[in-house]
Structure 1
Amino acid sequence: MDGLAHTPTDLHHEHQAPISRIVSEVAAQFPGARITLGEMGEAFGDRAFGLLILLLCLPSMLPGMASVFGIPMLILGLQMGMGRREPKLPGFIARQSIKREDLLRLAGASSKWLNRIERFVKPREGFFISPMGDRLVGWLTVYTAAMLILPGPGTNGPPAFGTIVMALGVVEADSRVVGIGVALTLAGCLFATCVLGALAWMGIQALGWIF
């Protein structure tokens, strides 16, 4: 495993890899103890959006880690939604780093449902890997990031899972998988919005009762 290779052509071949291999190859390309988001963004060019969103969203499947990565995801989603082809990270985000060991550990955090989806991923042309499809993915990533930043019981997992599927489809140029991810992300975000809305309503009612 020599790492995600250093040329765009070789990177294209790696689009076939499942999440566990993608994560392992990223870790192998950067031998240091920590890997910065800026380094990953520079290394993966026009596929950096999908890869960075994928890697930032994986920790959201673990308890207590979602909100930490919400702001970087928000910025990436805004840039993607506005039509940028490659991410331009502010310095304070580009300098954020992930431990190689944590990165490798995250590969095992994916659920059995995600593993099932990975088996069917392959390059497929279609709307969802077009420029308009990329913009849609970007704005849905913004929606997910907002749900991750806002606290709520059980509101992180569903949006994060759908966004991981979307990002996996982007990395591997699979329009069908991106489309599945779009549907899952939208459903997950709407669920989280309803939960947060219900909590806000109950809070307002409680304040009214107290005062």
Structure 2
Amino acid sequence: MDGTTHLPLPVPGGAPAGHAAEDAAPISRIVAEVAATFPGERITLGEMAEVFGDRAFGLLILLLLLASLVPIMASICGLPILILGAQMGFGRRTPRLPAFVARRSIRRTDLLRLAGTSSKWLRKLERHVRPRPGPFTTPFGDRLFGWLTVYVAIMLILPGPGTNGPPAFGNIVMALGLVEHDSRTMGWGIALTVVGCIFATVVLALLCWLGMEALNFVF
């Protein structure tokens, strides 16, 4: 996600930008809303952060996580996700992006394809997402979301087979709950994120152990 990266993502079957119906799946509607707000060829993270205000955290993290599902994009998206998550964890209400992150951009056409990355299971879940106040739509929930997002970002940055998808998927569910103010969806997302992070941590720890054993065997 920079000045030259093009995301090789499938075209979604959702509504086009500017015509997202009220009953559209949340991801398709959110992506269409962002694309309609920025009619230019490219959209920077800084522009999105400025326009969407207190909604920017959830929107930016959701879009970056969707992009991270493309294997070559995971480590690129990891750092911006980590910065945004840490700011939420420390209680900021709106993101403050460093210049090198704010300048990163995505093509508008690539943005419209992001909705197509969601799996069938996630699309089923989207039908049940709606505003529901609760313990996770509070400042405590925002901070919890932030620190879990930091851990997910670390998993995205670190190399490891199969360690990106599970944490990112749970974080996407969390982000949907955050954007839609749905405490129940946030709760499911938190559970999925914790399980995904445990899995990724175990895999990475096992790889480190195997690497150490191999070095001991050689030397």
Q: TM-score, normalised by structure 2?
A: 0.89
SS of residue in 1 equivalent to 2:72: coil
CA deviation map 1:108-131 (0-9, x unaligned): 010011101100010001010100
1:101, CA displacement in angstroms? 1.3
Q: Verify: 1:193 aligned to 2:201, yes or no.
A: yes
Contact map agreement 2:17 2:32 (CA 8 A) in 1: no
Structure 1: runs of 5+ lacking an equivalent:
5-13
Q: Which residue of 2 aligns with 1:98?
A: 106
Contact map agreement 2:42 2:105 (CA 8 A) in 1: yes
SS of residue in 1 equivalent to 2:106: strand
Q: Which runs of 4+ in 1 moved over 4 A?
A: 1-4
Q: Verify: 1:108 aligned to 2:116, yes or no.
A: yes
Q: Verify: 1:137 aligned to 2:145, yes or no.
A: yes
Count of residues in correspondence between the two structures: 203
Q: Which residue of 2 aligns with 1:149?
A: 157
Take 2:79 and 2:68, find their aligned partners in 1: how far apart are those partners? 13
Q: Which residue of 2 aligns with 1:177?
A: 185
Matched letter for residue 215 of structure 2? L
Take 1:129 and 1:87, find their aligned partners in 2: how far apart are those partners? 18
Take 1:143 and 1:20, find their aligned partners in 2: how far apart are those partners? 26
Q: What fraction of aligned residue pairs are identical, expressed as a percent?
A: 70
Take 1:58 and 1:184, find their aligned partners in 2: how far apart are those partners? 16
Matched letter for residue 52 of structure 2? F
Q: How does 1:34-73 map to 2 (within 5 A)?
A: 34-73=42-81
Take 2:173 and 2:207, find their aligned partners in 1: how far apart are those partners? 28
SS of residue in 1 equivalent to 2:97: coil
Higher helix residue share: 1
Contact map agreement 1:49 1:87 (CA 8 A) in 2: yes
SS of residue in 2 equivalent to 1:146: helix
Take 1:17 and 1:28, find their aligned partners in 2: how far apart are those partners? 16
Structure 2: runs of 5+ lacking an equivalent:
1-15
Q: TM-score, normalised by structure 1?
A: 0.92
Q: How does 1:192-211 map to 2 (within 5 A)?
A: 192-211=200-219
CA deviation map 1:64-122 (0-9, x unaligned): 21111000000000000000011011111011001111111111010011101100010
Take 1:184 and 1:82, find their aligned partners in 2: how far apart are those partners? 23
